[in-house]
Structure 1
Amino acid sequence: MNLNQPLVLRSGVTLKNRLIMAPMTVVLSFHDGIVTQEEIQHYGMRSKGLGAVITGTANVTDNGKGWPGELTIATDDAIARLTELSAAIHAGGAKAILQIFHAGRMTSEKTIGEQPVSASSVAAEVPGSEIPRELSENEIEALIEAFGQATRRAIAAGFDGVEIHGANMYLLHQFFSPHSNRRTDHWGGSLEKRMNFPLAVIDRVAQEVAKTSRPFAIGYRLSPVEATVPGIRFEDTLAFVEQLKTKPLDYLHISLKHFTRRANSQAYQEKSELAYIHEAVAGVMPVIGVGGVRTKEDVEALLENADAAAIAQQLLVDPEFPLKVTGEITDDPVSKPFGEAIKDLPMPHPMFKYLEKRYK
């Protein structure tokens, strides 16, 4: 697939090429989640040469905040500065997509000022995790509505779409997972019932999008497998994909540490998880792959099993990487190993400190 080929989404939103900035946490927002000037600059300088920029997580409610410095879209007060953020992305020539989420049990009382909530009262198997409170039926309905209101605000703020974050152990993932969801009501129990909350969120977001007269995309991000026992198995995800194919989604974004990763099921070892999911989606919607993209060759290899390539850490250390990949800049896309490139950075925000520690 030609990476410079435009990608026309179901909604009518058109990406100029197949390169996308992956959603990454940069902890640059104010304490209340309002966009800072540093955040606007961060996204603006990385929007050139891309088809779209997907922002880091924006919480849809105050108790959905995962960490300090996180974006919020929980109130109308956030719209003004989010409008400036979308404008900065557009100025670079990319479409602007806001990722919306709720952290669920992947937060702390210190962060949100109250006990975290989840599908069930089961702590994550992560050091320091707190036992969450199980959400009531009314609270679940209120959260579904919160995703709808977040979408309304994203539309008002000039974004071209929202990405519903159903991956990486956050709330929608928690409802789908048999580890975090031990319910026996409409929202849990069987595999099919564990799908009900994320599917309801998609439906509510779609209702809000239907009210606007301009093209506006809906994406969904998922993690294909889970290491815990019990946990999400690849067969569960393939069943979920069949349900997602019935929804008015513009794309499916597969969250992976590396785009070549194999599944946790012995029945699916001949190809990567991304390849199996792309095959299962069967062209109903575009599939975005991510994970370990450092060179143009990586982009081309990823696009053998996906319709678009999301770039994460490489964009942090080299904001001009997309321009090099598309040929607008003729320099070698990777002049140094990733770890060495990090050492040359001025470390303008905490994400770089994390990367420096990881790759030193």
Structure 2
Amino acid sequence: MSTMNSKLTFKRGLELKNRIMMAPMTTKMSFYDGVVTSDEINYYALRSGEIGAVITGAANVQNDGKGWEGELSVASDVFIPGLSKLAAAIKKNGTKAILQIFHGGRMTDSSVLRGVQPVAPSAIAAERPNAETPRALAGDEVLDLIENFKAATRRAIEAGFDGVELHGANTYLLQQFFSPHSNRRDDEWGGTLEKRFSFIDKLVDEVTATVDESGAENFIVGYRFSPEEYENPGIRFTDTLFLVDQLADKGLDYLHISLRDRQLVSVSENHKEKSMLAYIHEQINGRVPLVGVGDVLTSEDAEQVLENSELVAVGRALLIDPHWGAKALDKKDDLIRQEISNYDREELFLANGVWGFMEFMMPDRLGK
């Protein structure tokens, strides 16, 4: 079992001073064109310095990958100066900066894309209200997408980040390739479980090779995934165990599970004896560090996650108390801020996008 205060060194040499990471959360703070804002920089800087690493909210790797307004972009070299300021703001007092990179796939719409039809592995709409039917990516577009993830990784290196996280969770494009609901292709990128993994397989190989060939020292690559889907057909927990088993043997520095609750149990009848986090950790079997997450509000919660992971990601608690890390590391949970009001928003750099997330996810923690 890991402890929060202990250091961790990844295979590419990057060392974290403790086991706490800020979970990637949508901020909607960037300019309309994806350029970083000063408020966004201040938001991350306020929550840096005490914890081991900060993982940013998602940054799109190409224009049709934009998932929402106010989203970060890493789709062009023009974004490097702003991203450099963001990385520098995070990297104070030894905290490491990780840029999460992604493509929204079918989980966007033409209004966000300024009239452009969303793209996905197949022309299958998501099961959500008012979902648009996407256009299926052509074979050459799939290869171009991989090149754009590689280019985004290069830009993250140039901007001074310490790593990138491939966002393969929360039903976005990487997950869409793996899902039998969103991927109905009959070429090399779809069909069997193994073929639905082929895009992720190649993407991970190409991105990690980009890092290794860049000469960048101590730059890491992580991968985030969601363990189950509710759609039918959809990703089942046995599919995810296959995914994790494959990824654990690749050139990644860590895997990061996406869970709303660390104790969540699979809907699968064959995997109900323990939490999905515990099953995943068991499947990895020490081959690569696992980042656990899920309703971590106290130091005890964090230590519980670390019983089945090497790192713990903290989200909502850091929104309310930017100094949660120092207090939890010192086991001073009584000092952790439990509630905020609308009057605290400016002080904590909680713009409308973050505040909306908090109103939806944690209304009981918001005072009047």
**TM-score normalised to structure 2 length:** 0.94
- Taking every aligned residue pair, what percent have the same amino acid on both sides? 50
Aligned ranges for residues 1-360 of structure 1 at < 5 Å? 1-113=2-114, 114-210=116-212, 211-327=214-330, 330=332, 332-336=334-338, 340-342=339-341, 345-346=344-345, 348-350=350-352, 351-358=354-361, 359-360=363-364
How far 1:354 moved relative to its partner? 3.1
Residues in 1 aligned to 2:156 and 2:360: alpha-carbon distance in whole angstroms: 34
How far 1:225 moved relative to its partner? 0.5
The residue type paired with residue 47 of structure 1 is S
Does structure 2 retain, via aligned residues, the 8 Å contact 1:100–1:164?
yes
Partner SS for 2:89:
helix
Does structure 2 retain, via aligned residues, the 8 Å contact 1:40–1:88?
yes
Residues in 2 aligned to 1:184 and 1:331: alpha-carbon distance in whole angstroms: 53
How far 1:91 moved relative to its partner? 1.6
Does structure 1 retain, via aligned residues, the 8 Å contact 2:255–2:288?
yes
How far 1:92 moved relative to its partner? 4.3
Residues in 2 aligned to 1:252 and 1:331: alpha-carbon distance in whole angstroms: 28
Structure 2 residues without counterparts, runs of 5 or longer:
none
Of 348-357 and 294-303, more deviation after overlay is shown by: 348-357
CA deviations over 1:61-99 (Å, ceiling 9, x no partner): 000000010000000000011011110111243100000
Does structure 1 retain, via aligned residues, the 8 Å contact 2:169–2:225?
yes
Structure 1 residues without counterparts, runs of 5 or longer:
none
CA deviations over 1:274-304 (Å, ceiling 9, x no partner): 1000011011100001110011110011111
Partner SS for 1:261:
coil
Q: 1:357 to 1:100 in 2, by over 3 A?
A: closer
How far 1:334 moved relative to its partner? 3.4
The residue type paired with residue 4 of structure 1 is N
Of 313-322 and 85-94, more deviation after overlay is shown by: 85-94
The residue type paired with residue 341 of structure 1 is I
Q: 1:34 to 1:343 in 2, by over 3 A?
A: closer
Q: 1:23 to 1:342 in 2, by over 3 A?
A: farther
Residues in 1 aligned to 2:202 and 2:287: alpha-carbon distance in whole angstroms: 20
* CA RMSD after TM alignment: 1.3
Does structure 1 retain, via aligned residues, the 8 Å contact 2:162–2:219?
yes
Q: 1:258 to 1:343 in 2, by over 3 A?
A: farther
Residues in 2 aligned to 1:71 and 1:118: alpha-carbon distance in whole angstroms: 20
Residues in 1 aligned to 2:196 and 2:155: alpha-carbon distance in whole angstroms: 28
The residue type paired with residue 15 of structure 1 is L
How far 1:342 moved relative to its partner? 4.9
Does structure 2 retain, via aligned residues, the 8 Å contact 1:317–1:345?
no
Q: 1:259 to 1:344 in 2, by over 3 A?
A: farther
Q: 1:333 to 1:212 in 2, by over 3 A?
A: farther
CA deviations over 1:189-241 (Å, ceiling 9, x no partner): 00000001111111111121012241110000000100111000000000111
Does structure 1 retain, via aligned residues, the 8 Å contact 2:81–2:159?
yes
Partner SS for 1:219:
strand
How far 1:330 moved relative to its partner? 4.3
**TM-score normalised to structure 1 length:** 0.96
Does structure 1 retain, via aligned residues, the 8 Å contact 2:298–2:333?
no
Partner SS for 1:179:
coil
Does structure 2 retain, via aligned residues, the 8 Å contact 1:103–1:170?
yes
The residue type paired with residue 52 of structure 2 is G
Q: 1:138 to 1:258 in 2, by over 3 A?
A: same
Partner SS for 2:35:
coil
Residues in 2 aligned to 1:342 and 1:51: alpha-carbon distance in whole angstroms: 28
Residues in 2 aligned to 1:303 and 1:51: alpha-carbon distance in whole angstroms: 14
Q: 1:23 to 1:335 in 2, by over 3 A?
A: closer
Residues in 2 aligned to 1:355 and 1:44: alpha-carbon distance in whole angstroms: 19
The residue type paired with residue 164 of structure 1 is L
Does structure 2 retain, via aligned residues, the 8 Å contact 1:251–1:288?
yes
The residue type paired with residue 344 of structure 2 is L
Does structure 1 retain, via aligned residues, the 8 Å contact 2:193–2:239?
yes
Residues in 1 aligned to 2:342 and 2:299: alpha-carbon distance in whole angstroms: 22
How far 1:356 moved relative to its partner? 2.7
Partner SS for 1:195:
helix
Q: 1:213 to 1:353 in 2, by over 3 A?
A: closer
The residue type paired with residue 208 of structure 1 is T
Residues in 2 aligned to 1:77 and 1:115: alpha-carbon distance in whole angstroms: 24
CA deviations over 1:152-177 (Å, ceiling 9, x no partner): 00000000000000000000000000
The residue type paired with residue 65 of structure 1 is K
Residues in 1 aligned to 2:310 and 2:208: alpha-carbon distance in whole angstroms: 22
Does structure 2 retain, via aligned residues, the 8 Å contact 1:342–1:352?
no
